[in-house]
Structures are given as C-alpha cells and as structure tokens.
Amino acid sequence: MRYITPVAVWLYLVVTTVGEVLVYYSGPGTFSVDIAVGVIAMINALLTALFLMNIRKEPPVIQYLMLAPLALIMVLILTMLFAFAQ
C-alpha cells in the first residue's frame, strides 16, 4: 500500500488544478482570483517536491540547496516588480 501517498497527491493535484480553473471562472481577472490561483499553484508545487521528488527524505543540505535559489529568485522578482512602485 505504498502507492497510496503518491496516488493521493496526484489526485489532489488534479482536483486543485480543476479548482484553479473554476476559481478563475468565478471572477476572471480580479485580484483575489489571481491570489487564490497563485496560492494553489504554490501548494501544488510544494506537494510535488515533497512527495513525488521525495525531497523530505533527502538530507538537509539538499533541502537548503533547493531553498537557496528559490529565496534568491524571490529577491530578484520582487526587486523587479517594485522597481518603479511608490
């Protein structure tokens, strides 16, 4: 029964992806929809990394190795997005 976890994760991913689209139809182009869709996508990416790449079973150094570029890229993206904001 070791396949339960990956199948459950897969099911969750499929359902929430359909959910993303439904959320979108509930109010296309509104800010709150953008945020909701973004949050779903981030959770899905995290679940994939945790359960399909099994990063949770890797030693901490690998986890940091993947977190570091994520943090740096966030710095880059935020700097770009707020370059002209007041």
Can residue 45 be called a binding residue for other proteins (CB under 8 A)?
yes
Within 13 Å and on the Cβ side, how many CA atoms surround 21? 5
The answer to whether 72 and 62 are in contact (CB under 8 A) is: no
Give how far Cα 69 sits from Cα of 34, 60, 75, 83, Å.
24, 15, 10, 21
Can residue 14 be called a binding residue for other proteins (CB under 8 A)?
yes
The answer to whether 33 and 27 are in contact (CB under 8 A) is: yes
Can residue 53 be called a binding residue for other proteins (CB under 8 A)?
yes
Can residue 4 be called a binding residue for other proteins (CB under 8 A)?
no
Can residue 26 be called a binding residue for other proteins (CB under 8 A)?
no
Can residue 81 be called a binding residue for other proteins (CB under 8 A)?
yes
Q: What is the DSSP letter of 48?
A: I
The residues that touch other proteins, with contacts defined as CB under 8 A, are 2-3, 6-7, 9-10, 13-14, 17-18, 20-21, 24, 28-29, 33-34, 37-38, 40-41, 44-45, 48-49, 52-53, 58-62, 65-66, 68-70, 72-73, 75-77, 79-86
